[in-house]
Homo-oligomer: A and B are copies of this chain.
Amino acid sequence: MEDSQKPRIGLDRLIGPRSVAVVGASEDVDKFGGRVIHYLMKHGYAGRLIPINPNRATIRGLPAYPAVSAAPEAPDVAILAVPAAQLETQVADCAAAGVGGCIVITGKLAEAGPEGAALEEKIVATARSAGMRILGPNCLGILNPVERAMLSSSLALDGGPFGAGGIGMVSQSGALMGTLFAFGSDHGARFSRCVSVGNQADVELVEVLEHLVADEATRSICLYVEGVKHPRRFHQALRDARAADKPVFIVKVGRSEAGVRAARSHTASLAGSYAAFEAICRDAGAVLMEDTGAMVLAADAAIRLPRLPRAGMGVAPIASSGGSTAVFADLMPGAGLRLAELSAETRAVLGGFMPESHVALPLDTGSFHSGQNEAAMETCIRAFMADPDVGAVAFPMTTQPFMAQRAAVLPALCREGRKPLIYVMSAGSIGDAARERLREADFPYYDRVSDALAVLRALEAEAAGRARRMRPDVVRPSFAPPPQPSPASQERESSLPCKRSAAGEGWGGGPNHLTEHETKSLLSTYGIPVTRERLAHTIADALAAARDIGFPVVLKGVSRAVVHKSDLGLVRLDIRDEAALRDAYRAIEAAVDRHAPGTLDGVLVQEMARGEVEAFLGATHDAGFGPMVLAGIGGVLVEALHDVRMAPAPITADDARALFKSLKLAPLLHGLRGRPPADLDAAVEALVRLSWLAADLGPRLVELDVNPLILRRVGEGAIAVDARATLA
């Protein structure tokens, strides 16, 4: 091997070993050790294979040894699936022998309870003291077709042969890894290295991800993730993958509470916040998907098909079935895809083969004039490939005469056109002849319309991520907050007029809630516009404030003991005169006396702000991924619809704009029912500034909500009407 001259660093020795010891090797393929050695030999492992079995002199014709330490050389890797009770001894023996890394299939360790966790810690300590790595425990090993090192007992290896390819995979579930390897291989996908990390006692998912990013053989990456142990490093690895033009496709459990709970008990992972995970994927240009099978198909498509020229282009479906093209086109918008708008040139080409009335997408070649045939279809596909709005061509096939011949012409058309051509063969095994022709041409196919749509959507997201990452990084905008703000508590003490209530002080060292007025002061520091307001402690104070601010005003009772002020009647809107103000003031006092006596810190007299749309801005510090901002639209609806998107802070204006535009309620921004459009620019500006606040405060910020930020009509700005924050 040429490779053998290269220095071997990081996980090279573990993932591409030149010698492998199989602990518990056997002739019986129904036993773990028998299966591992069988698979290594079956798939042509070219390194040295060392069976370990105290009761046998040879196994499958190879000399066997009673222990790893008794072998004539220290193997790069030892694979173990011994019972937990023997694990400590075996790992110690491997460490003493100078093994490079142990692949520990054995389960019932940290995932099973405290006893297993203690044992897991012990073997890791033993390994570390000897400079030996541990993959697992509770993993299914490594599938490395590039070096024909199938270091696994996965029954996926009953299949094959498996050629080497470019898809790298890291999985927190060994069984899923084997399953996806088998499923992808059935479709002609080929892999570089697939690693099951199990409990990640030593080797962690992110380290393997970094390895794949650096690995020459790997061109796209699949991740099955339950929880991330090193979130910032993981985020950086995704960015590095994007920079290396290795698209990453991810399925992460934790969309729903059910998934979070399931992942927590499995492989002892913390699922973490799905919203934050989604945010960092979008930031890094990684593609988050739902279906694990579609994930592998997308990673394969990113290698075996041309990439989309850019995001936002249309799709051109064409087939010889009006039904299947109609179904395909009908489902496209639900997958975030659109039909292409054909150019006049393309329409002219199509018009040569069919009545003008049928020149439209999706294209049913059944509409061709009689006598037109394969050549016409090829000409149409060439025209699509040349059309400036066509990003991809889709070919949703059904049972048809000449299915296989028709399929055979497509790979060349795709390669010539340098745009993805998505071939769907929905007809089950009856379509195998067509699939076979595509396999011969090393071209992907999909068995289901849903897979084709998921792959197209993923390729679209890949193109969007590629564009994002080519943009310069965020730069601090030209406003001047304190670069190193003094601790928030000091700042609050010094700059804010209100007294601390008894309830607000200390709270046993728990989180520190800022009042609305305090939070707005903080927002002002970052240049976010807030309502004119003054804290009053008497009716006379309040009247004076209202005269300065100008009627109508709003009155809000300030009490650190109350989070949702309006629920308790502490908010009085649209007070138009002095008499109304007096009434309102007294009503607030009475309400506080009823619900939280003695906690009234004062009454905020505030300008009555009006506008077009209520936005929601949020900032938080994700325990894993760091500072985040949130954007929403729609006042109380934000909660009802869960219509909030998150992004890592700080954020660029472009990203902030994209965040708002991705909301379900984004149409409200355009001005419904003849209302004028709202000032989105002002919302974007406020979100960017808030993102710097979040970035500056870091973990000191627990959460900050601006709800609502009222957007006035375009050009008239936005204003924070209510806000609250919690500091650590």
Contact = CB atoms under 8 A, between A and B. Distances in A.
Interface in A145-189: 154-156, 158-159, 171-176, 178-179, 182-187
A323 B292 CA distance: 11
A262 B321 CA distance: 11
- Among A186, A253, A260, A431, the most chain B Cβ lie within 10 Å of the Cβ of A253
Nearest to A315: B258
A42 interface: no
Nearest to A256: B333
A399 interface: yes
A358 interface: yes
Contact of A178 (B83, B292, B399): B399
- Among A107, A154, A265, the most chain B Cβ lie within 10 Å of the Cβ of A265
Given A322-B265, A327-B253, A332 B182 contact: no
Contact of A398 (B179, B184, B260, B355): B179
Contacts of A344: none
A259 B293 CA distance: 26
A251 interface: yes
Task: Please state the number of chain copies in the assembly.
Answer: 2
Interface in A282-341: 290-293, 320-327, 329-334, 338-339
A357 B264 CA distance: 11
Given A173-B322, A323-B171, A329 B673 contact: no
B179 A326 contact: no
Interface string A102-128: 000001100111000000000000000
A509 to B, nearest CB: 29
A124 B628 CA distance: 68
Given A291-B449, A640-B667, A155 B333 contact: no
Given A360-B261, A367-B112, A427 B183 contact: yes
A321 B176 contact: yes
A156 B513 CA distance: 68
Contacts of A568: 674
B291 A251 contact: no
A585 interface: no
A665 B675 CA distance: 22
B673 A564 contact: yes
A637 interface: yes
23 contacts: A108-B370, A112-B367, A113-B357, A155-B401, A159-B428, A173-B326, A175-B324, A178-B399, A179-B427, A182-B429, A186-B428, A226-B323, A255-B330, A256-B330, A256-B334, A258-B333, A261-B329, A263-B330, A265-B364, A266-B325, A293-B426, A640-B665, A640-B668
